[in-house]
Amino acid sequence: MNEDEMVVTPWEVRGKIDYDRLIKEFGTERITPDLKQRMYKITKEKHVMLERDYFFSHRDLNWILDEYDKKNKFVLYTGRGPSGHTHIGHLPTWIFTKWMQDRFDTRLYFQMTNDEKFVFESHLNLEDVRKFTYENTLDLLALGFEPENTFIIQDIEHIDLMYEIAVQVAKKVTFSSAKAVFGFDNSMNIGGIWFPAMQAVPAFIHSWVYGKKTPCVIPCAIDQDPYWRVTRDVAERIGYYKPASIQNQFIPGLKEGGKMSASDPMSTIFTTDTIKLAKKKVMNAFTGGRATVEEQRRLGANPDICSVFKYYEFMFMPDDKDLADIGRKCRGGEILCGECKQILAPMMTEFLEKHQATREEVKDRVDEFSAARLRDELKR
C-alpha cells in the first residue's frame, strides 16, 4: 500500500491529509469568509482557529445562525474517547468549544465514551476506561469550564439518561448501513456495532430532557464525521433536528504525517508528561528542514509540512505578525530547525506547567460537572 495514501476514519488517520478532498468525500462544506463574519457578528471577536482555517469545514452552520437570530439557541456537543491520557493535540478543539460556549452563552454536553473504548480496544478493561475518563475530565476542566453550562456524560454510568434515545436511533440504522459507513466486518463485536447509536445520543439529549426540539452544534475533528452522517440520517425520523457540526484539522504528531496519536508515545506530548520529557519530544520533532545546514541556509525549509510550525499556527502564536515572521525566516533559511525548536520548547513547557497546576486544582470538582444532574431535571 502506498505510504502516502490518505486514510481518515474515526479509528485511523494516516497519510498525507488532503482537506479539500475530505470535504468532497464526506459531503461537508468549507467555512467561508462570509460565514466567519456571520459568526463574528455575534461573538464580537475573531478567533485565530477560524482565521487560520484550523476549523475549516462544517455542516449546517448557516442554519444554526438563522435559528440563533430567531432566538432558537443551540447547544454544543463534543466528546472524548478515554483510551489513555489526553495529549496536546486534543486540546485545541476543546479550547475552541469553550470559546463558542462563552461567546454564544450556551450549554455544552461533553461525552466521555468509556463504553466505546472498552468495546473497541481489546487491551482496555473497565477499570482502565474509568480511570482515563477521570484523568481526561481533569484536562477538560483545567481549560476553565464552569459547571453551570457544562454537563459531562459518562456513557456507562449515565446509561439511564441515554438508553431511550439510543434505542430509537439503533432501530433506524441497519447493519448494512453501519457496515458501509464504518467498515465493520463480521469480526466486529456487537458492542462496536451498537456504539454509533450511543455517540448520536448527546446530539438529542437536551431536546429529550426538556421536551423541546433544540439545535445542536458539534465541534470536532473531521474524522468523527461518519458518526454524524448516521446521526443526521435518523434525526428527523425520530423527531429531532439534524445536528450541525464545525470541524477541525488534525494536529500532526511530532513525527512525520498523520495526526498526533497515542500509539506512538514519542510523537505525542501528553498533558501528564514531565516537563523534561515534553522538552525532549519537542527537540526530537519532525520538521520541514533540509538534510544539511548548508542546504538549509541556501534553499530554506518548508513550514507547511512542519509539526513545530503547526503548533505555532494553531496554539502558541496567535499574533499574525509573529507567525509571518517565523515563516519567512524558515523559508529563507535564516533560522535552523534546532533554533526554532528552542523557541517552541519553552512555550510548550510553560503551557504544560500551568495546565498541570490547574489540573490539580480541579481534582475535587469533577462531580459538579456530572450529567447525573439531568436526572433531577427529568423529575420536574
Q: What residues make contact with ligand TRP under the rule CB under 6 A?
A: 10, 77-81, 111, 113, 116, 199, 218, 220, 224
Nearer to ligand TRP, 227 or 311 (CB): 227
| 354 CB-contact burial (10 Å; exposed 0-12 / middle 13-18 / buried 19+) | exposed
Nearest to 135 by CA among 296, 19, 248, 262: 262
Which is nearer to ligand TRP, 130 or 331 (by Cβ)?
130
DSSP notation for 328-367 = HHHHTT-S-HHHHHHHHHHHHHHHHHHHHHHHHHTGGGGG
Residue 203 or 317: the one with the smaller Cβ distance to ligand TRP is: 203
Q: Tell me the C-alpha distance between 256 and 259, whole Å.
A: 9
Check if the beta carbon of residue 95 is closer than 8 Å to that of residue 281: no
Smallest gap from residue 118 Cβ to ligand TRP (A): 12
Question: 127, exposed or middle or buried, with CB in 10 Å at 0-12, 13-18, 19+?
Answer: exposed
Q: What is the dihedral of CA 337, 341, 343, 345, to 10 degrees?
A: 180
Local structure of 123: helix, strand or coil: coil
Q: Kindly tell me the sign of the dihedral angle through the C-alpha atoms of 270, 120, 22, 246.
A: negative
CB of 370 to ligand TRP, least distance (A): 17
Least distance (Å) between residue 275 CB and ligand TRP: 26
- Distance between CA atoms of residues 51 and 151, nearest Å: 29
Nearer to ligand TRP, 113 or 271 (CB): 113
Give the CA dihedral 97, 101, 107, 110, nearest 10 degrees. 20
Among the listed residues 317, 197, 246, the one whose alpha carbon sits nearest the alpha carbon of residue 97 = 246
Cβ of residue 9: shortest distance to ligand TRP, in angstroms? 11
**How far apart are CB 223 and ligand TRP at their closest, in Å?**
9
Q: Which is nearer to ligand TRP, 31 or 216 (CB)?
A: 216
Comparing CB distances to ligand TRP, the nearer of 199 and 214 is 199
Maximal C-alpha separation, the chain: 72
CA separation for the pair 88, 65 (Å, rounded): 30
- Name the grid cell of 214: 433544540
Residue 10 Cβ, how far from ligand TRP at the closest point, in Å? 6
**Cβ nearer to ligand TRP, comparing 231 with 287:** 231
User: Cβ 249 to ligand TRP, closest distance in Å?
Assistant: 14
Cell numbers representing residue 300 in the block: 530554506
Nearer CB in complex with ligand TRP: 9/177: 9
Q: Which is nearer to ligand TRP, 81 or 253 (CB)?
A: 81
Return the amino acid letter for 337. C
Q: What is the chain's length?
A: 380
d(CA 309, CA 201): 37
Nearest CB to ligand TRP, comparing residues 123 and 276: 123
Q: Work out how close the CB of 108 gets to ligand TRP at its nearest, in angstroms, rounded to a whole number.
A: 11
User: Shortest approach of ligand TRP to residue 158 CB, angstroms?
Assistant: 13
How near is the Cβ of 334 to ligand TRP at its closest, in Å? 39
- What letter does residue 304 receive in the DSSP assignment? G
